[in-house]
Amino acid sequence: GVCAGRMGCSRWNQTNYVIASLENDRRSFWKAWPWVAAGICAGSLCMVGLVGVRLQHSSEAMLPQQVQWKPAVEPAEAGSLAKTLTSQESAVIDLFSRATPSVVFVTTFGEKTGFSMNTLEVPLGNGSGFVWDTKGHIVTNFHVIRSAGGAKITTANKKIYDAQLVGFDADKDIAVLKINAPSNELVPIPVGSSGELLVGQSTFAIGNPFGLDHTLTTGVISGLGREMRSPTGRPISNVIQTDAAINPGNSGGPLLDSAGQLIGMNTSIYSPSGASSGVGFAIPVDTLKVIVDELILKGKVIRPIIGISYLESSQARALGIEKGVLVLDVPKDSPADKAGLMGTTRSALGISLGDIIVKVDNDLIENEADLFTALEGHKVGDVVKITVSRGDGSTKILNIPLSPSSK
């Protein structure tokens, strides 16, 4: 149509101009769109690439790293462990390695007949021992083999041998066995001396406590000159006391000094519970040497004795005898009988107590342990002065030659 007025035409023209401009812009936009789209896509790919790279790096960072395991001690450093040992530790390790081949495991057996009437060997117990010489002699405690019908010896190289009994001294709790083993496989234990030991010296006990073979325990000499009872009730004097742990199974094993030499044989402990309480006892090697050599030579130990029977002090106290040893019997025509020693007699009038031994030479006698100790220093054939107290209140001194024991 035609413009209604100047103003109207002007507005119309402006509107047409805007529309025309927008149309031109629209055409320009669609002409440029492929290039814009290409740019947008390229930018998107770049972003994806960047994000992918980022994610890739992050995921690599989150992957578990391979752990490089290293031994606690490198092979090259293993030898350096020896450098960390103290000189004292090295000495003990060396002592144990040298002494172990001399220590053996003793297993005892009894015989049992089953329903088939076949005789079976039944294990009774175990203990320790040590090689005395290259002839196969093994030393252990008498109480280890006391009730056994047989014994087997296991050496340090794990070989097992049947043992034969050579001899024993029950009064000193010592036994000697023998095995038929090659001499080149037997390592005798180095024998030392117990005469100059001092309280405080180091001690080393090797044995098989509770069946655990070749166990080492250490301690010191806690006391000297102790006295303990043997399986027969007789006293063993000059016993060594140590706090090295000694447990069941250690009996018969060696007690060594810091030089690795034998100073005693572990034999018992003082313990209410039966386990080690830090108070162990060992038979001194000086006593051991004399008895072992005699057992190997003669198969028995011959001791000097008076040749009488006596009443134990615990029973004598019930009769009012506070000191001394009451003589029960004196064999007829024995040296003691010929010397005038009188025993206890029974008659229609009652019991007449015999002589009470109160002194041997210059040693006072209060009980049978004192009597055995007083005779220890003598030999068969020695004449001893025995002072006795009689029922009539008199005191007599009798010269009695000592007889050999029948063991």
Cβ–Cβ < 8 Å for 138, 108: no
Q: Which residue has the tokens 């309280």?
A: 199
Residue 378 annotated among the catalytic residues of the structure: no
* Tokens representing residue 342 in the block: 């009188």
**Residue in 128, 194, 251, 268 annotated catalytic:** 251
CA distance 45 to 295: 104
Strands 137-140 and 345-347: unpaired
The token pair that represents 150 in the structure block: 């047989």
In Å, the largest CA–CA distance within the chain is 184
List of residues 6+ apart from 390 with CB closer than 8 A: 342, 355, 356, 396
Number of H helices, E strands in the chain: 8, 22
Q: Which of 102, 143, 202, 213 is flagged as catalytic?
A: 143
Rg of the chain (C-alpha set): 48
| Catalytic residue check, 173 | yes
d(CA 159, CA 182): 11
Task: List all residues 6 or more positions away from 45 whose beta carbon is below 8 Å from its beta carbon.
Answer: none
Please name the residue that has the structure tokens 């000495």: 91
- The residues with which 264 forms a beta bridge, in sequence order, are 255, 284
Q: Are 356 and 367 in contact (CB under 8 A)?
A: no
CA 68, CA 40: separation in Å to the nearest integer? 48
Query: What is the token pair recorded at 387?
Result: 């002072």
> Which pair of structure tokens corresponds to residue 105?
């495991």
Is residue 386 within 8 Å of residue 398, measured between CB atoms? yes
Annotated catalytic, 214?
Answer: no
Question: Out of 169, 171, 173, 257, which one is annotated catalytic?
Answer: 173
| Structure-token pair, residue 340 | 């005038």
Cα angle vertex 376, ends 309, 244, to 5°?
A: 110
Catalytic residues: 143, 173, 251
